[in-house]
A = this chain, B = another copy of it.
Amino acid sequence: MTSTTAPVDASTTNRTVRLASRPTGEPSAENFRIADEPLPTPGDGEVLLRTIYLSLDPYMRGRMSDAESYAAPVPVDGVMEGGTVCEVVESRSEALEPGDIVLAYGGWQTYVVAPANQVRRLDPTRAPISTAVGVLGMPGFTAYAGLLEIGKPQAGETVVVAAASGPVGSAVGQIAMVKGARAVGIAGGPEKCAHVKDELGFDAVIDHRDPEFKAKLKEATPDGIDVYFENVGGKVFDAVLPRMNTYGRIPLCGLVSQYNLTRLPDGPNRVPSVMQRILTKSLTVRGFIQNEFVKAHYKQFQADMAQWIADGAVRYREDVVEGLDNAPEAFLGMLRGTNFGKLVIQVGADPTQSA
């Protein structure tokens, strides 16, 4: 990372984090570049937004590459994309006024200009505004839609989810329990495992670093697995698949363990055994991006999730890192699993937090 340490006037300068180069394999700080530029000016119908929180999410690794995907890559030298919670600084729209707090897709920068009709006003009295990019936002909705619309857990069934201390996995397991299913989480390291079991109340948790991982997964799923919410891939998938019950469902929203692969792993080619298992167990594997479900289910999600949080049925943990300059390092750590909870960068002051 090219660190820009010269003092700047934060009220007249927009600091941006840009994609300096496309990574090969694991990204590094060198793939990012910090650049300052004058504040942009809103046109008619637009607003100037100051970023308060920037969400960092695994899908951003995909945006750094130009491999074909469901969304276009960030261009080299472009500002890194991402969901943000912002304050309206200047408005040229009647829909918003200065001081309003909004959800935007503002990217890795301290300010952004956006059309007023492409941001959503938040009610800061309802929940901490950072949750709009967490449990009450995209990650929470990914868990909700994928689990309920694809996984369809029934009371008494067993739901397994990896990255169970993360924003998606933690919501998956807790929603599963709300629906009367057994939740089995997989996480990395004793601290995260303790959190999943003790704080989130999962029925069981397994450390994927445990040398006895496969045996412990078996022990934790004595009736097999009905729903595996897939967000990591790799060795966890290999261990889970043979334990799937007939008519099992695998909602697939991420493959974080393989995002940095530069070539396919060595053989043998295990595709035939995966397909054979899908066939003989009548499994459903369904890839999805949460956008697909927004129109039909987002409203209900917000009502349900707010209620579950109020009830204490769903708890969440945020990992807030201060300062936009630290975003690249925090993002790299997330890909390695070193963060703990929903990773959010605090880019600017949060006016809703009384000091």
Which of A's residues lie within 8 Å of B, judged by CB? 68-70, 230, 233-234, 237, 246-247, 252-255, 258, 261, 263-276, 278-289, 292
By a CB distance below 8 angstroms, the chain B residues around A279 are 252-255, 287
A279 to B269 Cα, complex, angstroms: 19
Judge whether B268 and A269 touch: CB under 8 Å: yes
Judge whether B272 and A282 touch: CB under 8 Å: no
By a CB distance below 8 angstroms, the chain B residues around A269 are 264-271
One of B68, B261, B283, B292 near A280 (C-beta < 8 A):
B68
By a CB distance below 8 angstroms, the chain B residues around A68 are 280
**Chain B residue at minimum C-beta to C-beta distance from A62:** B280
Judge whether B292 and A237 touch: CB under 8 Å: no
By a CB distance below 8 angstroms, the chain B residues around A289 are 282
**Chain B residue at minimum C-beta to C-beta distance from A259:** B276
Judge whether A255 and B268 touch: CB under 8 Å: no
A264 to B274 Cα, complex, angstroms: 11
Would you give the shortest CB distance from A101 to chain B, in whole angstroms?
32
Question: Contacts A268-B269, A275-B255 known; A285 to B285 CB distance under 8 Å?
Answer: yes
By a CB distance below 8 angstroms, the chain B residues around A233 are 272, 275
By a CB distance below 8 angstroms, the chain B residues around A252 are 275, 278-279
Judge whether B272 and A281 touch: CB under 8 Å: no
Judge whether B255 and A264 touch: CB under 8 Å: no
One of B234, B273, B275, B284 near A284 (C-beta < 8 A):
B284
A270 to B275 Cα, complex, angstroms: 12
